Amino acid sequence: MPALRVLMGRIEGKSANTPKEFHQVFATRLLAWYDAHKRDLPWRKDRDPYRVWLSEIMLQQTRVAAVLDHYRRFLKRFPTVQKLAAAREASVLAAWSGLGYYRRARMLHAAAKRVVKEHGGKFPANSAGLLELPGIGRYTAGAIASIAFDEPVAVVDGNVARVVQRFFGMRITGGEVWQMAGAWLDARRPGDFNQAMMELGATVCLPRQPRCLLCPVAGLCATRGELPAAGTASRQRKREIHFGLARRNGAVFLVQRKKEESLMGGMWELPEIAPSSEKPMWSLRHSITVTDYAVRVTEIASPNGAAGKWIPMQRLESLPLTGLARKILRRAEIL
């Protein structure tokens, strides 16, 4: 591979005659840095496949900082895969509330049932077996298999892809990125190596303003900085949305989304109302995927015929609420 041959001469002025030598130098430096500087994250306390799996599903499309409290609460409520499998879907969605992308929670629940029913409560010990479970793709299967079971299989997420691209100074995509990540993998510590690559991308090789002076492998990198922009970033859509907050006798009026809806199906939320000349109680901001919402909340006396239910306030914590509904109810000091 031509790009690798260019990099092999970059070991601080010394010659790297073979890809193997380059990979060894890279892995040695990266793992030493990881051992000294890795973040203290709760799912790194042990290599329990249930906890690794839960963390990986939660971290999909979600920042680490947003996951930490949810992970601890979810694990306290469902400490084992058996407990999760035995739970009602509504209870799982309620525990997941606030993390978004609720299909992940449904797939998590379905996979737990499969693990208990078909595997006696034990996770498959390799990536091929893990791929058979609902909601687990190539990346997640590789992460669980390498971290929990020491399978020498690489993973590629956005952080890993960015590190690889910058090291070669070109936009490598698809199968090429996976091929390079597999070539670099340290088979002696595959789980730690994969986590180190992700940690490097998340904390040092940042999307903007990479911290190259702190990078343990900067001497091997082709760019030591940002790649040229590939194009204009997509713009967030903006939308204004109005909700009514109706409460009486210790209850709040909520409506439930249809279960077949692709976005947050079956979740509970405040009724949406038409804009009015009445000044809202407050406004807040909320983002879902590519849309930024300006949310206006108005106190209303009744739901005006909306198909919903009066929910006692003491039941709200156990109800699968949308993240926005939870945010509004907390702002109203109801939750």
Query: Which residues participate in catalysis according to the annotation?
Result: 56
Count of C-beta atoms within a 10 Å radius of residue 309: 12
Say what the alpha-carbon torsion angle 97, 101, 107, 109 is, to the nearest 10 degrees. Answer: 0
Q: Do 26 and 12 touch, CB atoms closer than 8 A? A: no
Contacts 24+ apart (CB under 8 A), 102-109: 102/264, 102/265, 102/266, 102/267, 102/320, 103/135, 103/262, 104/57, 104/58, 104/60, 104/135, 107/57, 107/134, 107/135, 108/54, 108/57, 108/84, 108/135, 109/84, 109/85
CA angle, 109 then 53 then 135, to 5°: 50
Instruction: Provide the CA 332 distance to its chain's centre, in angstroms.
Output: 28
Q: What is the DSSP letter of 11?
A: B
- According to DSSP, the β-strands at 282-288 and 247-248 are unpaired
CA distance 184 to 164: 10
